[in-house]
Structure 1
C-alpha cells in the first residue's frame, strides 16, 4: 500500500514506520497520520484509500473536544471542578447523585454509565436526550468509590453541565472557541456541505486467532460493559456502524460521533498545548497539568482492564513508554489516537478507516509514537 504526503527534514523515520505496517487487509483501505512539533505540522501522511482531506469517524477521540471545552470554562472560572453537578443541574440529584462533583464526573467516577432500559438509536444521537434520561438513573456503583468508562454518555453528561451553567451547548462553545478560529477539520455535528468528504467506517477483519479472542472476551448485554455500550437495548447496532448514520453525524453527540481527520485532531491538541498560527495556547500550563493529572487509575469496572484517566482525558505516561508524564488525549474504538505531549513538545493524531482489533488505540500507535520521539531527538 502506497504512502502519500510529506514529512519535514528529520522525520523520514516516521514515514518509514507508517509504511511498514500498511500491509495486509487489516489496514486497508486507509489511515492518516499527522504530527505537530509545537504549532508546526511536521508530518502529514496518508495511505491508499483515503486522502489528507478525507473525513473519518474518530469515535471516542471525539471526547477530547468535549474535555477541552470544559477545561476552557474551568480556566475562565465559569465552571468549578469541586462544585456538585446538581448545583448546575438540579434534576441530576435524583437517586443519590446529589453529592457527585464535576471533578468526579470527569474522572469517570459517577457510576452513571447507561440506562437500565437502554437508549433508543434516536436518543443516542442526541446529547440533550441522553442527559434527560440519565438525570433519573440510579448509579451502577457508589459514586466516587470506583471508576468505569462512561463510553457513550460522558459527553452528554458534561455537556448538560455546560448548558445549565452557560445557556449554550457544548457544541456551540466548541465551534466558537476552538474549531472555527483554528479552521479545524474536526466536527461536532458534520455540516451537509462536508458530507462528500466523509468515508464510512468498515468492520474488523479478524484473523481466526483474533476471532477466538473476541469470543473468549464476550460479555452479556446486562454486564456493566454491556449496559455502558447499550448492548442490552432492543435494536442496538454494531458500534463500528454508529457514526455511519447521517443522523448521528449531524447530531454532534460529543462522546463518540465526532467526524474529522488526523489534521483536525492534531491541530486541536496543538492549539490546546502550544498555540497555532501565532496564537497563544488555549490552555494555560496549570490548566493542562490539572486536566492531565491522574484522577482514576487501576481496573476499569466497565472495561475490566487497567486504565488511567485525568479529568476526562486519558493519560498516557503509564500506558505508552514513548510519551512523557502529563501527556493527555483520547483514543477511539476505530484505532484512532490523538494527544498532546507538553513535555516533549508535540501533538499527534492517527486515524484509520477500518475498525481496529480489539478496539481503542490500535497497536501500531506505540511504534508510531516511538518514531516521532526519535525524530524529535
Structure 2
C-alpha cells in the first residue's frame, strides 16, 4: 500500500517526494516529515503516517518529534555563535569558563577538544539514574569531577549524551543562561520555529510517540550482553538512567519528565520544518536571520576527529568538526563542506553552504545501521539542486 503524502513539493523535485514515500514501505506504524529550504525558501514540505500508533493519531505538519543527536548540531551552532562574537575560544581550556572542570587532570582539555568528542568523558564512570539526569547541576558536577576514560590527545570516542552537558555547561557559564533558554532566545524565537531543548509541559501531547524497530532492539541486546566495562553501551544508558534503545513504551524519551529536562546531547524536539529552517539560517539569511557567518562556518567545520575511535567499532566512521558532524562515508550529505548532525533512529539535519540548503528529516520509527531512509532521500535530492 502506497503511503498518502501531505504537503507540497516544488516542480522538478518530485523524485525526492518519491524517495520520502518509499521510506514508509513495509512500516505501517511509521510517521515522519521532510523539509528542504533553498536560498531561504521552502521547496519541500511533506509529512505522512502515524504520530502515535497507540491511538492512531496522524502525523501533521506541526508534529514535533525527538531528534536525538541532531540536538548536538543545534548546540554546536550556539557554541559557534559565541565564538563568532568573541565570547568563546575553541582553543581555550574549558576550565577558563568552567573552573571546576580542571579536576582529575582535565585542566588542559580545550573547548574544541570537548566539542570534538576528545575530552575522555564519553560515559560516566559512576552509574547515573533518571533522577540524576533531570538535575542539570548534578550531572555537570559529576562530569567535572571525573577522570577521563583515556589520556588527552590519544583519540576520541563519541560522547553520545555527555557531549550535551559538557557543551551546555560551557554555554551556561559564558551566557548566564541555560542551554535551552539560550537556544530559544537565539534560534527558535527569532526564526519562529517549533523547536525546544526542554519541552514545555503544554506541548507534551503533541509530540510523536517513538517506536523501536526489531533490528535496533536486537543490536542493543547484543551490546548489553558484552562484558563490562562496555563504555559505548554505557554512553547510551549512563548506567541506570535510560534504556539502551533510549526509549521504551512509556519511558526514556517517550516520558515527559525526560523530554522536559534540558538534555542537549539527545533531547531536542523539533518539527522537520524547524530543523531545516535552522540549518538554512547557518548558511543563508532565512526569515531575516543569519545565525553564523561564513568565516565562522569555515572555522567550525575544520576536521577535528575522524577514523577509528578509542573503543573500536566497525567502519565507516563519522568525521567531526567543532561539534558538527561532517560529510563522510558514515553520513553522506550532499557533498563536501556540508555540516549538521544525524540522530538515533534515523533523524537527519544539515546545511549545504554551496547549494544554500537546509535539510530536515524526522521520524518516530527508529531504525539501526540498516536504515537507508534519509540516505535515499538525500541521494534523490543531490542531482536536482
| TM-score, L = length of structure 1 | 0.92
Q: 1:353 to 1:263 in 2, by over 3 A?
A: same
Q: Unpaired segments of 5 or more residues in structure 2? A: 51-58
Q: Say yes or no: does 1:325 pair with 2:326.
A: no
1:48-87 equivalence runs, <5 A: 48-49=49-50, 50-87=59-96
Counterpart in 2 of 1:275? 285
Report how far residue 212 of structure 1 moved.
7.7
Counterpart in 1 of 2:33? 32
Q: Say yes or no: does 1:20 pair with 2:27.
A: no
Counterpart in 2 of 1:308? 319
Q: Answer whether contact 2:191 2:289 (CA < 8 A) is retained.
A: no
Q: 1:129 to 1:231 in 2, by over 3 A?
A: closer
Q: Say yes or no: does 1:185 pair with 2:194.
A: yes
375, 378, 382: which one pairs with 1:369? Answer: 378
Q: 1:54 to 1:322 in 2, by over 3 A?
A: closer
Distance 1:234 1:329 in 2: 27
Q: Answer whether contact 2:233 2:244 (CA < 8 A) is retained.
A: no
Q: Say yes or no: does 1:11 pair with 2:13.
A: yes
Distance 1:282 1:79 in 2: 16
Counterpart in 1 of 2:55? none
1:1-377 equivalence runs, <5 A: 1-25=3-27, 28-49=29-50, 50-206=59-215, 211=218, 215=222, 219-230=226-237, 232-233=239-240, 238-241=245-248, 242-277=252-287, 279-302=288-311, 304-305=313-314, 306-320=317-331, 323-358=334-369, 362-376=371-385
Deviations 1:297-341 (A, max 9, x none): 101235624221111011015545552211111111121010001
Report how far residue 129 of structure 1 moved.
2.5
Distance 1:216 1:132 in 2: 28
Report how far residue 283 of structure 1 moved.
1.0
Deviations 1:197-252 (A, max 9, x none): 11221122339xx9489648964452121232236437756413421111111112
Q: 1:112 to 1:53 in 2, by over 3 A?
A: same
SS of residue paired to 2:60? coil
Q: Answer whether contact 1:269 1:340 (CA < 8 A) is retained.
A: yes
Distance 2:240 2:49 in 1: 37
Q: 1:235 to 1:20 in 2, by over 3 A?
A: closer
Distance 1:89 1:283 in 2: 24
SS of residue paired to 2:306? strand
SS of residue paired to 1:70? helix
Distance 2:254 2:312 in 1: 24
| TM-score, L = length of structure 2 | 0.90
Q: 1:372 to 1:119 in 2, by over 3 A?
A: same
- Superposed CA RMSD: 2.2
Q: Which runs of 4+ in 1 moved over 6 A?
A: none
Q: Answer whether contact 1:29 1:48 (CA < 8 A) is retained.
A: yes
Deviations 1:269-306 (A, max 9, x none): 011211212x2521111111121221101012356242
Q: Unpaired segments of 5 or more residues in structure 1? A: none
